[in-house]
Amino acid sequence: MEAVQSKSKEVQARSKEMPAAKHGLNLTTLEEKVIQLIEIMKMLKEENLSLKDKNKDLQGQLKALEGSLVSETRDLEELSQEKMMTKMVVDNLLLLIETQEQ
């Protein structure tokens, strides 16, 4: 905003050197507003670039998390299958022991 203020002062100094505006137009105020708008546009463009970079980083993190979730889901499914197989083996062993006792 300091740049806007310095430009505004510069415009005011130049307007003192120029003859009074014809037809009731206040060119100094118009020039100040245009300068302010240009500075705002520059700030918005910088913010937009920053947000795009942040968005790109977040998308990368999201992909990594999705990959991790898929991997963990597979591991969980494998553990569940191993648990079922272990239970079946234990059940078979118990049944075998019972049949040998009789």
The more confident residue out of 97 and 14 is 97
Q: What is the pLDDT of residue 58?
A: 98
Pairwise CA distance, residues 50 & 47, whole Å: 5
Mean pLDDT of 6-35: 69
Percent above pLDDT 90 for the chain: 67
Category of 7 on φ-ψ map: left (φ > 0), alpha (ψ -120 to 50) or beta: alpha
Please give the Cα distance from 94 to 90 (Å, whole number).
Answer: 6
What is the rounded average pLDDT for all residues in the chain?
85
The Cβ-side half-sphere exposure at 97, using a 13 Å CA radius, reads 6
The pLDDT assigned to 26 comes to: 83
Please write the tens of the pLDDT for every residue from 72-101: 999 999 999 999 999 999 999 999 998 888
pTM (whole model) above 0.75: no
pLDDT band at 71 (very low <50, low <70, confident <90, very high): very high
